[in-house]
Every structure is written in structure tokens, then in C-alpha cells.
């Protein structure tokens, strides 16, 4: 997967993606490995252990969010499953995407992954109730702002409203 830093969002988002790629995000599974208190199951779906690939690609909550966002953008990507890692899915999605939409796809993937992580943190630390509808609206609003700010390829990817 070839992506420019601009396609990978803000510095915070780039650091998050880097840490996620190294499995260094403080998920429940990582906290358990270090002997720290943790939830037994994912706080968003309450079905499986929370680890970074589950949170970003395998979790039912995340997959519903991805489906809604990718449908909103009219982007056709390979389906997510609980076996393929998030970064392997991303690379496959970018490789199979038309070259004219690749920058927009990378931006929307960055934005959505970051938003899922922030939503998960708000559920854990702020007592927010998990809501795919609220999360999708937030991602759509952010994507429109990114497009207005000049994120390359994103304006061609998202619907004009």
C-alpha cells in the first residue's frame, strides 16, 4: 500500500496508525498481556476479546460502521472478515481500487479507523453509549471538512451535500 502522509491524515492519526500497525495500542488484549485491568470482551460489541484488528475490522460494530461509510462514499472494497488483518484488508482495498479513487479511499480509511478508536475511547473513559449512527454522522461531517480543507481525492470520493 503506497500512501502519502497527507492521505494518512493528521499527525495524531498517523501516530495512531503507526502504533496500530505495531500492535502497540492499549487495547484490552494488550492490557491483559501486561497484567493491567481490562474488560473481558470488546466494549463496542460485547462478543470477543478486544485487540486492534478486532476493533478496527473484526468487530461487528466496526464492520457496520465501515459498511455505512463505504456505501456512503460509493466505494467498492473487498469485504472485511474476522480473519484478515485490518492492514491487509486496507492494502487489498487500495490495490483493487481505481487509481483515481485511491487517495480518497486512503483518506476515508484513515478517518474511519481514527474515529472508531476515538469512539471506543469515549465509551470507555467518558461513559458514552456505543452508537454506529452517531459515529457515522461524525465521520461524514469530518470527511466533508477534510474535503473542504483540500484533502486530495476525498472530494471526488464523498457525496456532495
Q: What is the pLDDT of residues 60-89, one digit of tens each?
A: 999 999 999 999 999 999 988 878 899 999
Task: Return d(Cα 50, Cα 72) in angstroms, integer.
Answer: 27
pTM of the model: 0.92
Residue 107 resides in a domain:
yes
How many domains in the chain? 1
Where in 52-129 does DSSP place strands (E)? none
Residue 82 resides in a domain:
yes
Residue 44 resides in a domain:
no
Helix (H) or strand (E) holding 82: none
Helices (H), the chain: 11-21, 28-33, 52-53, 60-73, 86-96, 102-126, 132-149, 154-157
Residue 36 resides in a domain:
no
Determine the structural domain holding residue 71 and report its residue range: 11-22+51-157
With vertex at residue 81, the alpha carbon angle to CA 36 and CA 125, rounded to the nearest 5 degrees, is 30
Residue 3 resides in a domain:
no
Residue 102 resides in a domain:
yes
Query: What integer best gives the mean pLDDT of the chain?
Result: 91
Q: What is the pLDDT of residues 139-152, one digit of tens each?
A: 999 999 999 988 87
Q: Between 132-149 and 102-126, two packed helices, what is the crossing angle to 10 degrees?
A: 130
Residue with cell string 480518497: 104
Residue 40 resides in a domain:
no
Of 109, 128, 22, 20, residue with least CA distance to 62:
109
Amino acid at each position: 500500500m503506497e500512501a502519502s502522509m497527507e492521505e494518512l491524515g493528521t499527525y495524531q492519526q498517523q501516530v495512531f496508525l503507526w502504533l496500530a500497525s505495531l500492535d502497540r495500542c492499549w487495547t484490552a488484549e494488550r492490557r491483559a498481556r501486561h497484567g493491567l485491568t481490562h474488560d473481558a470482551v470488546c466494549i463496542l460489541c460485547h462478543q470477543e476479546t478486544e485487540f486492534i484488528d478486532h476493533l478496527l475490522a473484526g468487530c461487528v460494530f466496526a464492520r457496520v460502521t465501515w459498511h455505512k461509510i463505504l456505501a456512503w462514499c460509493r466505494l467498492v472494497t473487498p469485504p472485511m472478515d474476522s480473519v484478515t488483518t485490518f492492514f491487509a484488508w486496507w492494502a487489498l482495498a487500495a490495490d483493487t481500487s481505481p487509481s483515481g479513487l485511491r487517495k480518497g479511499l486512503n483518506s476515508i480509511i484513515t478517518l474511519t479507523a481514527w474515529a472508531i478508536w476515538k469512539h471506543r475511547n469515549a465509551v470507555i473513559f467518558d461513559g458514552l453509549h456505543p452508537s454506529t449512527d452517531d459515529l457515522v454522522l461524525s465521520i461524514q461531517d469530518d470527511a466533508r471538512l477534510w474535503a473542504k480543507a483540500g484533502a486530495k481525492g476525498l472530494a471526488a470520493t464523498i457525496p456532495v451535500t
